[in-house]
């Protein structure tokens, strides 16, 4: 009774005057109701946004989990252990020919690369071409050879010599589009994408020098697969780097891969990052994600944790055993962004190269990087590489590839992250394969520093002393391990240390 009385009295004291005020001022009541409706509407929109975001996230996560539980197709050992060298025939030698490439094969062998990738070798379109010579990605004839580079026999001789030296050789395949004066557009205009007026169109407004192919035509698919089989079976190449592979239906690539596998083991490299490509069609995909964080980490726009984030994202997104191609430059980045020595500086270019070659993946080097080439190599003109300006880059890359060849830990070893006393600017880890252990440390800061590596939570058993041999300097240390399981390491500014651990 007492509580009921208090409640009634409170209602009388608090609410009746307030209600009286509202009804005596209708405008006030209207604005209160209006604002209440706005608040309710805002809450509804926020809930709707949250639900849609959650749905999108769960959809992406579901797709990621789907592929992360699968296994990537098994690739040949020469692919898994490879070091890819990208050649732009127009710029690679003063002659700009297949013969010019052939003359330099012994140098490439000494450098330590194992897979040669030639950018498109086919005749270049003349209609709507860009620049003086046109882009090699504007293909006139998939069965032909660019006379600028030589003849088919010249290419076969290059291929034969490359095979004798132990190289595998792949060529660029531009399957998404052709030149406007291509053989296909003349003989089969129905195989091309058209607008509502029936006009053949480019893949996008910027690619004005090429016409888009339409893979809804079974005849086009058969033609392209027969052409790929010709280059593998009759000419003898070892595979393809597939330009803008994600713009071509995955079902085509899977069908093509089955056809090629019936001839011999080949390498299929996708200029894409779709996890689905690893299941049946491709051996390797582009690791654009790692390239994109290199400069931000070196300029302190991102911390070294960004590398953890990207590697962890790959682990939960890609099929198990997926091979990613790591790079600090390529023909696109050189031409449209900047050469690595310009973008990162000389020290940064070397640090980037060490990253590319020591984290899990298959490394790429673009022609000219081994001499610190500062020139942009235009895709539409002839810009020769000046090989005399070698500096110490060639020695650096030779040692880097040699270390990778000698140490299976860097090719196939498990990667174990090691914390330090400054994980924002330093990144340390071990790669382990059997008895082979490598310790790698990156310094993204602009100062020389001694850092402390913490092995206390590390799964690797560590004793009272550790022996380190640095592969670039040749220095060795016997370091006493502290009771807290830590060791000190000195790393130069914007630099690296790669140690053999005993």
CATH superfamily of 415-501: Golgi alpha-mannosidase II (2.60.40.1180)
DSSP strand pairing (168-173 vs 115-118): parallel
**Which residues are paired to 210 by β-bridges?**
179
Scan for tokens 């051996």, then name that residue.
283
Confidence grade of residue 464 (pLDDT, cut at 50, 70, 90): confident
Per-residue model confidence (pLDDT) at position 21: 44
For residue 436, which of 459, 416, 413 has the smallest C-alpha distance? 413
Q: Is the distance from CB of 131 to CB of 381 less than 8 angstroms?
A: yes
Q: Residue 209: is its pLDDT beyond 80?
A: yes
pTM for this entry: 0.87
d(CA 392, CA 467): 28
Using left for φ > 0, alpha for ψ between -120 and 50, and beta otherwise, residue 72 falls in beta
What is residue 69's DSSP assignment?
T
DSSP strand pairing (449-454 vs 465-470): unpaired
Q: Is the distance from CB of 168 to CB of 113 less than 8 angstroms?
A: no
Helix (H, G, I), strand (E, B), or coil: what is residue 240?
Answer: strand
DSSP strand pairing (362-366 vs 239-242): unpaired
**Token pair listed for 296:** 């931000």
Quick one: fold of 70-406?
A: TIM Barrel (3.20.20)
Q: Residue 185: is its pLDDT beyond 90?
A: yes
- Residue 431 CA to its chain's centroid (Å): 21
d(CA 378, CA 384): 10
Domains of the chain by residue range: 2-64, 70-406, 415-501
- How large is the C-alpha radius of gyration of the chain? 30
Q: Residue 3: is its pLDDT beyond 50?
A: no
d(CA 373, CA 343): 12
Residue of 261 and 45 predicted with greater confidence: 261
**Token pair listed for 6:** 């208090």
**Token pair listed for 426:** 């330093």
Confidence grade of residue 321 (pLDDT, cut at 50, 70, 90): very high
Strand ranges inside 174-326, DSSP E? 177-179, 210-212, 239-242, 267-270, 284-286, 323-326
């Amino acid at each position: 009774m007492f509580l009921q009385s208090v409640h009634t009295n409170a209602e009388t004291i608090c609410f009746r005057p307030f209600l009286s005020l509202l009804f005596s001022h209708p405008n006030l009541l209207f604005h209160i109701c209006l604002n209440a409706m706005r608040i309710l509407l805002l809450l509804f929109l926020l809930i709707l946004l949250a639900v849609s975001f959650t749905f999108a996230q769960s959809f992406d996560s579901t797709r990621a989990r789907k592929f992360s539980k699968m296994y990537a197709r098994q690739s040949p050992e020469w692919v898994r252990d490879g070091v890819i060298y990208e050649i732009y025939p127009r710029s690679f030698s003063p002659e700009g020919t297949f013969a010019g490439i052939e003359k330099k094969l012994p140098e490439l062998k000494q450098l330590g690369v194992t897979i040669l990738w030639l950018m498109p070798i086919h005749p270049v379109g003349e209609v709507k071409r860009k620049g003086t010579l046109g882009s090699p990605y504007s293909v006139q004839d998939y069965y032909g050879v660019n006379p600028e580079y030589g003849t088919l026999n010249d290419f076969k001789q290059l291929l034969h010599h490359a095979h004798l030296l132990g190289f595998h050789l792949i060529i660029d395949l531009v399957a998404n589009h052709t030149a406007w004066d291509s053989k296909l557009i003349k003989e089969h205009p129905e195989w091309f994408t058209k607008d509502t007026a029936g006009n053949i169109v480019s893949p996008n407004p910027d690619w004005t020098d090429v016409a888009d192919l339409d893979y809804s035509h079974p005849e086009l698919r058969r033609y392209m697969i027969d052409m790929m089989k010709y280059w593998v079976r009759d000419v003898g190449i070892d595979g393809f780097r597939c330009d803008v592979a994600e713009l071509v239906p995955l079902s085509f690539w899977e069908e093509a891969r089955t056809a090629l596998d019936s001839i011999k083991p080949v390498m299929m490299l996708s200029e894409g990052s779709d996890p689905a490509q690893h299941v049946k069609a491709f051996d390797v995909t582009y690791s654009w994600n790692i390239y994109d964080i290199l400069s931000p980490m070196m300029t302190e726009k991102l911390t070294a944790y960004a590398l953890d984030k990207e590697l962890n994202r790959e682990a939960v997104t890609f099929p198990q055993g997926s091979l990613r191609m790591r790079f600090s430059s390529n023909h696109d980045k050189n031409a449209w962004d900047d050469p690595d020595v310009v973008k990162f500086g000389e020290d940064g270019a070397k640090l980037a190269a060490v990253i590319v070659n020591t984290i899990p993946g298959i490394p790429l080097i673009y022609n000219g990087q081994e001499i610190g080439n500062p020139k942009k190599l235009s895709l539409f003109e002839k810009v020769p590489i000046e090989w005399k300006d070698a500096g110490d880059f060639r020695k650096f890359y030779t040692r880097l590839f040699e270390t990778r060849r000698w140490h299976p830990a860097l090719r196939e070893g498990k990667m174990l992250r090691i914390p330090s006393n400054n994980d924002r600017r330093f990144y340390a880890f071990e790669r382990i394969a059997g008895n082979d252990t490598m310790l790698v440390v990156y310094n993204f800061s602009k100062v020389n520093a001694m850092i402390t590596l913490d092995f206390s939570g590390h799964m690797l058993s560590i004793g009272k002393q550790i022996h380190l041999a640095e592969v670039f300097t040749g220095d060795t240390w016997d370091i006493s391990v502290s009771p807290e399981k830590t060791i000190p390491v000195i790393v130069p500014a914007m630099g690296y240390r790669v140690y053999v651990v005993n």
